[in-house]
Structure 1
Amino acid sequence: MKRLLPLLLLAPLPTLANEVGLCPAGATELQLEARAERDVANDTLHARLVIEREGLEPAALAEEVNQLANEAMQSARAVPALRLTSGGYRTQPVYAPKDRRIERWRVRHELLLESRDFPAAMRFVARQQERMGLDGLWFALSAASRAEAETLLMQEAAHSLMARAEALRQTLGRPRVELRRIQLSPQEGAPLRPMVARAMLAETAGVPPLEVEGGESHIVVQAGGIACVLP
């Protein structure tokens, strides 16, 4: 879905407000703005997996957590569509509530999963649930898909500016119009909302992994320029 909203501005654009003398003498100077936007299907799944263990010996806990992380890494490397990287790692004491002495230790290691193959990613997550928790699940556009969408919207916004300028030329009965200092600026769309998924997703008792839909990201490109309607 896309919306294209060309506007004629009576007040200067903030980014062009200090531009003077762009049009030759005798020309009518107009400041134009256009906005192109569309919703693009998210193509990348992100998940945060957490390995957390508590006990009396921090070294033994770290060894167990590291072993589980290494096994998960090896499992992910066997699936080309998956990219698993290490996130935060923390070892911290857990204090007794009364006398503040160290009662035990906690080791936490985060693994960050990224994939454009949603079913493969969810199968991997489900298989890991017996040994680690799922702390978050969200979707986004890959850098390549975002750049492609922004390029198309820049073209649409620029064409809209040109069409608006030509329409104004015809209205004023002038022979020519030129656009000066066109500015194209991608804008941030609606913020992504992580889908928190802490429930067990393991493939046990014949239960299949959770099916997910990636949703959409809202992409916006703002365009501005000065039209010189020549006499």
Structure 2
Amino acid sequence: MISSGKSICVRAKLAGCVFSVFVGLAVAPVAVMAASHGTGPMGHPESSGGHHGAQYGHHAKTMGGPRLPQASLQAAASSQVAQDTVTVTLSAQLNDVSQQVVNAQLSKALDTAVASAKKQDAVKVYSGNFRVWPFTDEDGKVTRWQGRAELILESKDFPAASELAASLGDQLSITNIAFSVSPESRAKAEEALLEEAAAAFRKRADAFAVAFGFQSYSIKELNLGGAGVEYAPAPRMMAMAADKASVPLEGNTETVTVSVQGTIYLQRENK
């Protein structure tokens, strides 16, 4: 196995964001690869597919000639995307000697909070965990019941979510705040990054073929890393008791990455 031992970093601007393209390289042995079908034109796959992870082409060899050497390449494009969605978790906790009382009071608290929350159109409201459990004495007898219920607020409108969370302070307390990139923003970033990663892969394949004395290449297979995006979410978690003052909300950023991996056939022009 021959390896360049290097990575290439290409920096560019995309939709107001600065991102980097990293390219890795590994080369398979040159003279012993199996082959079965003809190759396509330079830079184009021998067959096509319609989804992430699809593989293209087969082993190939020239008509009556030697088997074609192969090289494995990879490229990735990344960008920092602003977290545009906030998720606020509010909860109520109660305890009583009666399980029925705990259930009833928790349900009432949630119903009241939901009725108030749904007046705010900019915030999505839904129920979280609802749990009631017993406490026992040393003899195993149930002495009381503890319960906890959650209400989730989700919105792209940070001020609206903050004000709503504060207004529910009489019924529920804020136990967690997390930020994320919305599916719409992530999909838009992935689409732009895929074009950049593909361009970096083609450029690297061209340069590699020339550097090792080949005139062209054809693509054997292409794959997108994972599900098409590898990202490291960086949510900011918080826990506090709610009061009438609004909670300051400010998101961070996440790194969205699209990677392309593939294998190419290296070709010399027939004389």
TM over 0.5: yes
Query: Is the contact between residue 52 and residue 106 of structure 1 (CA under 8 Å) also seen in structure 2?
Result: yes
TM-score, reference length from structure 1: 0.83
SS in 2 for 1:68: helix
Q: 1:46 and 1:90, CA in 2 relative to 1: closer, same or farther beyond 3 A? A: same
Q: Does 1:126 align with 2:191?
A: no
| Whole-Å separation in 2 of the counterparts to 1:45 and 1:30 | 44
Show structure 2 runs of 5+ residues with no match.
Answer: 1-17, 36-58
Q: Does 1:55 align with 2:96?
A: yes
**Residue of structure 1 equivalent to 2:267:** 230
**Residue of structure 2 equivalent to 1:81:** 122
**Residue of structure 2 equivalent to 1:24:** 61
Q: 1:201 and 1:135, CA in 2 relative to 1: closer, same or farther beyond 3 A? A: closer
SS in 2 for 1:5: strand
Q: 1:23 and 1:76, CA in 2 relative to 1: closer, same or farther beyond 3 A? A: farther
**Residue of structure 1 equivalent to 2:131:** 90
Q: Does 1:156 align with 2:156?
A: no
Q: Deviations over 1:26-66 (max 9, x none)?
A: 54422111121122111111122111111233323322221
SS in 1 for 2:179: strand
SS in 2 for 1:213: coil
Query: Is the contact between residue 91 and residue 105 of structure 1 (CA under 8 Å) also seen in structure 2?
Result: yes
**Residue of structure 2 equivalent to 1:136:** 176
Larger RCO (CA under 8 A, 6+ residues apart): 1
Q: 1:153 and 1:176, CA in 2 relative to 1: closer, same or farther beyond 3 A? A: same
SS in 1 for 2:117: helix
Letter in 2 for 1:45: V
Query: Is the contact between residue 162 and residue 179 of structure 1 (CA under 8 Å) also seen in structure 2?
Result: no
Q: Deviations over 1:58-115 (max 9, x none)?
A: 323322221221122122222122111112212222334x554333222221112211
**Residue of structure 2 equivalent to 1:167:** 207
Structure 1 counterpart of 2:237, from 173, 195, 202: 195
Query: Is the contact between residue 87 and residue 177 of structure 2 (CA under 8 Å) also seen in structure 1?
Result: yes
**Residue of structure 2 equivalent to 1:182:** 222
Superposed displacement of residue 173, structure 1: 5.0
Q: Deviations over 1:153-197 (max 9, x none)?
A: 222111111111122233345443222311112354325445131
SS in 1 for 2:264: strand
Q: Which moved more, 1:185-194 or 1:39-48?
A: 185-194
Structure 2 counterpart of 1:209, from 235, 246, 259: 246
Q: 1:28 and 1:86, CA in 2 relative to 1: closer, same or farther beyond 3 A? A: same
| Whole-Å separation in 1 of the counterparts to 2:82 and 2:34 | 42
Show structure 1 runs of 5+ residues with no match.
Answer: 13-18
Letter in 2 for 1:60: V
**Residue of structure 2 equivalent to 1:5:** 22
Identity %: 27
| Whole-Å separation in 2 of the counterparts to 1:126 and 1:31 | 55
**Residue of structure 1 equivalent to 2:145:** 105
SS in 2 for 1:195: coil
Superposed displacement of residue 20, structure 1: 4.5
TM-score, reference length from structure 2: 0.72
Q: 1:92 and 1:173, CA in 2 relative to 1: closer, same or farther beyond 3 A? A: closer
**Residue of structure 1 equivalent to 2:110:** 69
| Whole-Å separation in 2 of the counterparts to 1:192 and 1:134 | 20
Q: Which moved more, 1:163-172 or 1:83-92?
A: 163-172
Letter in 1 for 2:113: A
Q: 1:20 and 1:49, CA in 2 relative to 1: closer, same or farther beyond 3 A? A: farther
Query: Is the contact between residue 74 and residue 262 of structure 2 (CA under 8 Å) also seen in structure 1?
Result: yes
